[in-house]
Amino acid sequence: STLEKVRALHDDLVNRATYDLPSGGSCTTMLLHNRGVCEAYSRTLWLMLRMAGIPCIIVAGHTDEPHAWNLVQVDGEWYHVDATWDDPTIIGSNRNVLSHHYFLVTDAQIAGDHSWQRDSIPVSAVKDALYFRTNKAYFTNYGQFWQAVAAAIDSGATEYEAYLTAYGDKSAFERSLLQNIRHIPALAAVKSWSGPQSGGGVVRLTFNHSGTPTRATEEVLQ
């Protein structure tokens, strides 16, 4: 499907690329050396998507500084994709992480930390979190979410990513995890997570399969 093609190219770029200020915004440098800034990410994704026959636009806007990302058309609707911000680095480890926080999101979703001249590009779709809805990883309550997390752990997955509308905040997440470990023992394998500051959004978890609770899990249990 078009969505699967967009995901494959987005994931390939993020997995290969490293954000590197001295390398600049050249698509050529990104393709040859896998390094560059936001312009390089957006130009390279634009090129790959156009070669795949998928309509795509480069958006020039702002975050806390001038920034560039993409608008992609999937099944007749436009969605934002920010490959640069989907390529975070774990502080202290220099390990890049593939994320879908900014993958196929709406105007309303990305407007929380991105701004642009709205009359210069098409209006995005209304339905949020298309990627997670399509992959049955969109949850409106903690019960469904924890069952899916437990199933991912049982399957041997080391990571899981989902969209949770009822996230709340970090404290609410910790309380819910503690409550659900009691009747879903697999959740003791939750090692770490990231999520929105408040409300709902993408939650990304990692799991420990060693059989020994990690320090992060122990802190939650305490």
How far apart, in whole angstroms, are the C-alpha atoms of residue 7 and residue 1? Answer: 10
- pLDDT for 222: 43
CB 54 within 8 A of CB 2: yes
Tokens at 3, concatenated: 């969505």
- pLDDT for 218: 46
- pLDDT for 128: 87
Strand partners, 90: 95
How far apart, in whole angstroms, are the C-alpha atoms of residue 155 and residue 134? Answer: 20
Strand order in the sheet with 138-139: 138-139, 159-168, 199-207, 190-194
How far apart, in whole angstroms, are the C-alpha atoms of residue 106 and residue 45? Answer: 18
Per-residue pLDDT of the chain (222 residues; tens, 9 = 90+): 999 999 999 999 999 999 999 999 999 999 999 999 999 999 999 999 999 999 999 999 999 999 999 999 999 999 999 999 999 865 444 567 788 999 999 999 999 899 999 888 899 888 889 999 999 999 999 999 999 999 999 999 999 999 999 999 999 999 999 999 999 999 999 998 989 888 999 999 999 876 444 444 444 444
Closest CA to 141 of 172, 171, 112: 172
Closest CA to 194 of 185, 208, 184, 206: 206
Closest CA to 68 of 47, 93, 40: 40
Q: DSSP letter at 58?
A: E
Residue whose token pair is 């399957």? 155
- pLDDT for 124: 87
The alpha carbon of residue 40 and the mean position of all alpha carbons in its chain are separated, in whole angstroms, by 19
